[in-house]
Structure 1
Amino acid sequence: MSEASHPYAGLWVTDDGRIRHELLPNGRYVEARGSRERAYEGRYEVRGDHIDYWDDTGFTADGDFIDGVLHHAGMVLRRR
């Protein structure tokens, strides 16, 4: 699925607001952690309800969208 056409582009935030993932429509993401607005950046790919991340430093991660909620690395992020 093309990043530009998936329904998950936008801002995803933990309930406490500490972790924020911005999924950009061009297939890039920016992760903020606390006061660090650009703590991590990289690319991502969505296939169905699954997301794979590749950080610019080489770190990889993944997650799943379940009932409109992003489950990623033990965290729960909701669309904001």
Structure 2
Amino acid sequence: MLAACTVGPDTAGRTVTDDAAQPSPPESPPPGTVAPQTPTPPSADVGPHPYVGMWVTADGHIRQELLANGRYDEARGARQSAYTGSYRVLGNRIEYVDDTGFSADGTFDGDVLHHGGYVFYREGSEAQRRAGEGRR
């Protein structure tokens, strides 16, 4: 789409352009007010917390992946994404809110997570290996 543009002299003889497509200069805030600040993105050198990754029950039936973006995805048996939602970690505690609004919490003890009456193990950890040996 083309915008109409006219060029002609003003009353002092200078050339003036009337172009609707040109942006206006930004307005200054009124005196005595503070301009809104643009949020600063998190520092690139801050990594995810140490609990990000896959957590599984000893029998492998429940698999819960804690994603670095604060989301989780839990599979149960053959049912992928049985539960999804957000979480936050405070020290060794985790608080979940699933996408339906249900909330729960849990506690980390190294590579072991106690949550909802279940015990989860960090996938590939020594704790998971020991738990698997105990089931034989």
Unpaired runs of 5+ residues, structure 2, are: 1-46, 124-136
Gaps of 5+ in 1: none
Identity value in percent: 61
Aligned length: 77
User: Quick check: 1:62 aligned with 2:110?
Assistant: no
| 2:101 maps to 1:48 | no
Greater Rg, structure 1 or structure 2?
Answer: 2
- Residue 119 of structure 2 is matched in structure 1 by 76
SS in 1 for 2:89: strand
Partner deviation per Cα, 1:30-79 (whole Å, 9 max, x = no partner): 00001101101000000000000000001100000013200001100001
Runs of 4+ in 1 over 6 A off after TM superposition: none
- Is residue 2:79 matched to residue 1:36? yes
- Paired position in structure 2 for 1:16: 59
| TM-score normalised according to structure 2 size | 0.55
Q: Which has the higher strand share?
A: 1
